[in-house]
Structure 1
Amino acid sequence: MSIAVLRKWARVPAAVTAGAFTGLAELAFLLVTGLTLGLAAVAPVARRRVAAASTRAARWIAGRERRRLAWAGGEPAPPPLPPAGPRVFGYLAARALPALLGGLVTALLATGVALAGIVARSVLAGTMTVPHLLGQVLLGAALLTLNLQGFVTVAGIDARLARTLLESSTREELERRIGELAASRAEVVAAVDVERQRIERDLHDGLQQRLVALGMLLGRARRSADPERTRALLDQAHADAQRAVEEMREVAWRVYPSALAHSSLDEVLAMVAQRSAVPVRIDFAPHPRPSRPVETALYFVACEAVTNTAKHAAATVITISVGPNATGVEMVITDDGVGGADPDGSGLHGLARRVAALDGRFEVRSPSGGGTTIRVELPCG
């Protein structure tokens, strides 16, 4: 039997033995938590803080237990726990049963090892006959088999408790998902309205005024009797027309980046960097190209971040990193500016809604004086 096979078979007893000790620690944790909450009952603020800290600690402990059980079964590390609420404390209390049984089978195994040592010493001393030795070996093999089966049974009970008390049921998961979709739909509608208002404002305050000024220039050129002045007015009108075209292109890109239809995301981000008033470094790691909505969301996040940094952050450099992660694609945008960005502001909140609509994660860290970091994770589908 190879060493790898022995390690595999040794995982379950080792995990069950470890679970027996962690069960005692968890009971102590529940006792201390109950006493602390009782003492803090007279101060509601303190009680809420203790409850929040205890819940975080309980979820961390439960997460360690799930990792222990996954290791015992040779499975990959489980995903983070969903917000299970009081069920986490119920799971830690229910673990008293597998912890007690694990302690018993571990004690039986230790007793068997001690008896095997006594038999081995008797054989070496020559005080045990062959029939007696064969009887002891058969009895020990039978007891060891039962003992190992006990470890497997305890591990199964422990795993079932974790699945029952920590993982969401199908109905609960569907209800949670329906709630998320309803909230996401409302967020998308709000984001579309905000985007329409922004486009209308850009057209009214920028392009419309430039076109009005252009019409006035052309009118003055038509009324002028001086050829030189007419030529100068037409030159100015031509320059204003060129700027109007550029503004129209900018507005169109805010609606939808058409360059993504025939260019890759890194090429489009390079165009964003060229138009930025702050130097932009792009680190683009090769990865499978995501769907068009995902690329569009990443583009809008990059544009908004670059624009906000140029306006408010007083930064000297912006870094945009795009690459694969465990669930899809990840974009991280950092700057060395003054920080203090408000995640609940209209711009960043709109980006968060756009990312949430695609089942992604949007995170902003912007301590005062420490620069700003925006992290976006999106599935590739």
Structure 2
Amino acid sequence: MLGIARRGLRLTTGLVLGAVMSAAELPFVVLSGLSLLLVLAWPRGRRVVLKPVAVGGRALTEANRRRLRDYITTETSDAYADRRALQYLSLRWSLGLLGIFVLSAALIGAAYGTAWVFILLFREVRHFDTVVISGIGGLFLLFLGMQGAFGVAGLEAKLARRYLGPSHQEELERRIEQLAASRAGVVAAVNDERRRIERDLHDGVQQRLVALGMLLGRALRSQDQQRAGQLLRQAHEESGQALAELREVAWRVYPTVLDEAGLRAALETVAERSAIPVRLDYELSADPEATVATVAYFVVCEAVTNAVKHSGAGLITVRVARGEDAVLVCIEDDGLGGADASGSGLFGMARRVAALDGRFRVDSPAGGPTTITAELPCA
């Protein structure tokens, strides 16, 4: 709810600024059109007029690009032609006026929707039905106004992408760069995983097996039956520990429960094995496809492991939900915060998510909480 309120406030600020800017854009468009019309048949004069018009148009367009980026979260390209900027401004001013009309309607609705409180407190009510009807009507107008504000913001974004968005060539180049970076990230992640498995086997299971062999050898050479029995019991315990460590390594490589029982069961196992209490909110009605489920599992597993090691948290909350064409995975802990997004653990998670063309965010202010969010595209 708080996030929706913040988004609404940000969009409202963007629309108000857009309305203010339309007061400059409309005269600019009118004067520019008249100036160009007067010199339409005069090439030299047209070139003279076009230069200041292009400078002014680019200045207004750049101001709009900053507004769109900061308040409507719409990114555009700076490689647009002057002609496209003028076309954009010739339409943009109308959306600025529409935005102020919509916000005015919302303010009027808010005034009528809350006026009944002050009327009941400070005035004697003679026509209670009129007060109720005006309050309901005001709230309905407020609802329509806020929906209209979101609609105008959407039109602003579409108009900007239409005239200021990256070209098809730029999109292809950006996509090639993303694919190259994600491929390099996948290769690096595979190599890191191989090194980690080798280290776990060498420092853990291999040492256990060496100790097991030594115990069995000593038991075979011992002439004392009691001592040999004691060595065999130690060897039996060592074999159990080696088997447990081998299962742990295999689990970290890939949990079989993910294929056998699904993502929910695998995440429940992660929660059970955690040294810190983990609350799991699993809101998917059906498991996603295997690749998405695998990445979601490893993101949660790595995030929980990092929280246990570094956060000092008392509770970890894991939420898995369905978004619009994506699976949303959110891990939050109530620890000290200050997580380094460039650290090996978080960077590895980001690479896994990027391999699926997903989005990965880390929010970890000093003092906490730390929130890790992954959006994994799925059918």
TM over 0.5: yes
Tell me if structure 1 keeps the 8 A contact 2:321–2:328: yes
Which structure would you say has the larger Rg?
Answer: 1
**1:329 offset after TM fit, Å?**
0.6
Tell me if structure 2 keeps the 8 A contact 1:58–1:89: no
Instruction: Say whether 1:98 aligns with 2:91.
Output: yes
Report the equivalent of 2:67: 57
Q: What SS does structure 2 have at the residue aligned with 1:378?
A: strand
Report the equivalent of 2:150: none
Structure 1 residues 316, 21: CA separation in 2 closer, same or farther (over 3 Å shift)? closer
**Aligned residue runs from structure 1 range 133-212, under 5 A:** 162-212=160-210
Query: For 2:95 and 2:269, how far apart are their aligned partners in 1?
Result: 62
**1:361 offset after TM fit, Å?**
0.9
Amino acid paired to 2:244: E
Instruction: Say whether 1:341 aligns with 2:351.
Output: no
Tell me if structure 2 keeps the 8 A contact 1:330–1:375: yes
Amino acid paired to 1:233: L
Q: 2:263 aligns with which of 262, 265, 268?
A: 265
Structure 1 residues 21, 317: CA separation in 2 closer, same or farther (over 3 Å shift)? closer
**Aligned residue runs from structure 1 range 305-324, under 5 A:** 305-324=303-322
Structure 1 residues 208, 100: CA separation in 2 closer, same or farther (over 3 Å shift)? closer
Q: What SS does structure 2 have at the residue aligned with 1:81?
A: coil
Report the equivalent of 2:34: none
**1:164 offset after TM fit, Å?**
3.8
**1:254 offset after TM fit, Å?**
2.0
Q: 1:329 aligns with which of 327, 330, 334?
A: 327
Structure 1 residues 223, 83: CA separation in 2 closer, same or farther (over 3 Å shift)? farther
Query: For 2:277 and 2:236, how far apart are their aligned partners in 1?
Result: 30
Unaligned ranges ≥5, structure 1: 1-17, 30-51, 64-79, 104-157
Query: For 1:253 and 1:349, how far apart are their aligned partners in 2?
Result: 21
Amino acid paired to 2:78: G
RMSD of aligned Cα (Å) = 3.4
Paired positions, count: 272
Report the equivalent of 1:7: none
Report the equivalent of 1:8: none
Q: What SS does structure 2 have at the residue aligned with 1:210?
A: helix
Report the equivalent of 2:229: 231
Please give the per-residue CA displacement for 1:170-189, whole angstroms capped at 9, x wherever unaligned: 33222221121111111111
Instruction: Say whether 1:213 aligns with 2:235.
Output: no
Tell me if structure 2 keeps the 8 A contact 1:214–1:240: yes
Query: For 1:298 and 1:212, how far apart are their aligned partners in 2?
Result: 36
Q: 2:276 aligns with which of 275, 278, 283?
A: 278
Query: For 1:177 and 1:93, how far apart are their aligned partners in 2?
Result: 28
Tell me if structure 1 keeps the 8 A contact 2:25–2:93: no
Instruction: State TM-score, norm by structure 1.
Output: 0.63
Structure 1 residues 201, 170: CA separation in 2 closer, same or farther (over 3 Å shift)? same
**1:285 offset after TM fit, Å?**
0.6
**Aligned residue runs from structure 1 range 65-144, under 5 A:** 81-85=74-78, 87=80, 94-98=87-91
Tell me if structure 2 keeps the 8 A contact 1:27–1:93: no
Query: For 2:341 and 2:321, how far apart are their aligned partners in 1?
Result: 23
Please give the per-residue CA displacement for 1:72-96, whole angstroms capped at 9, x wherever unaligned: xxxxxxxx53442364998665444
Structure 1 residues 160, 279: CA separation in 2 closer, same or farther (over 3 Å shift)? closer
Query: For 1:375 and 1:190, how far apart are their aligned partners in 2?
Result: 22
Tell me if structure 2 keeps the 8 A contact 1:289–1:380: no
Query: For 1:279 and 1:187, how far apart are their aligned partners in 2?
Result: 32
Please give the per-residue CA displacement for 1:332-367, whole angstroms capped at 9, x wherever unaligned: 111111222211111110111011001111111122
Please give the per-residue CA displacement for 1:213-244, whole angstroms capped at 9, x wherever unaligned: 11112122222233333222222221221121
Query: For 2:280 and 2:94, how far apart are their aligned partners in 1?
Result: 56
Unaligned ranges ≥5, structure 2: 1-16, 29-61, 97-155
Instruction: State TM-score, norm by structure 2.
Output: 0.63
Q: What SS does structure 2 have at the residue aligned with 1:59?
A: helix
**Aligned residue runs from structure 1 range 14-29, under 5 A:** 23-24=22-23
Tell me if structure 1 keeps the 8 A contact 2:337–2:368: yes
Report the equivalent of 1:135: none
**1:21 offset after TM fit, Å?**
6.8
Q: What SS does structure 2 have at the residue aligned with 1:331?
A: strand
Query: For 2:294 and 2:166, how far apart are their aligned partners in 1?
Result: 33
Query: For 1:20 and 1:355, how far apart are their aligned partners in 2?
Result: 39
**1:97 offset after TM fit, Å?**
2.5
Tell me if structure 2 keeps the 8 A contact 1:20–1:98: no
Q: What SS does structure 2 have at the residue aligned with 1:348?
A: helix
Structure 1 residues 19, 241: CA separation in 2 closer, same or farther (over 3 Å shift)? closer
